Amino acid sequence: GNSVTQMEGPVTLSEEAFLTINCTYTATGYPSLFWYVQYPGEGLQLLLKATKADDKGSNKGFEATYRKETTSFHLEKGSVQVSDSAVYFCALSSYSSASKIIFGSGTRLSIRP
């Protein structure tokens, strides 16, 4: 079945450091891929998405590229800020899963001033 695997946290970085959170997926067909962010005590917000191979999603300085050959959708940001501290979820959706979203386990990111 479809699944998402992302790197375990917590990840702790200093402000202005480079961020990578790895995400790989297993899916039949051609899934859409997403990164969601959850700030403390809040629901999920869609951060970015990509719907086909080689698409790059980007938002708020974050970006991720849909790599079909490596079945990956790694999240990157060149210079993180304290306000980026949150939990990040990689996810996929496909017609084979009735368009339900399948989430990874989440990666907690903490940024030190």
Partner 1 sequence: GAVVSQHPSRVICKSGTSVKIECRSLDFQATTMFWYRQFPKQSLMLMATSNEGSKATYEQGVEKDKFLINHASLTLSTLTVTSAHPEDSSFYICSARVAAGTSGTDTQYFGPGTRLTVL
Query: What residues line the site for partner 1 (CB under 8 A)?
Result: 32, 36, 41-46, 49, 51, 89, 93, 98-101, 103-106, 108
Which CB, 80 or 107, lies closer to partner 1?
Answer: 107
Determine how many CB atoms are found less than 10 A away from the CB of residue 106. Answer: 19
Least spacing, CB of residue 65 vs partner 1, in Å? 16
Rounded to an integer, what distance in angstroms lies between the CA atom of residue 85 and that of residue 4? 22
Which CB, 22 or 103, lies closer to partner 1?
Answer: 103
Least spacing, CB of residue 23 vs partner 1, in Å? 13
- What are the residues whose beta carbons fall under 8 Å from the beta carbon of 58, sequence distance 6 or more? 48, 64
Chain centroid, CA 12 distance in Å: 16
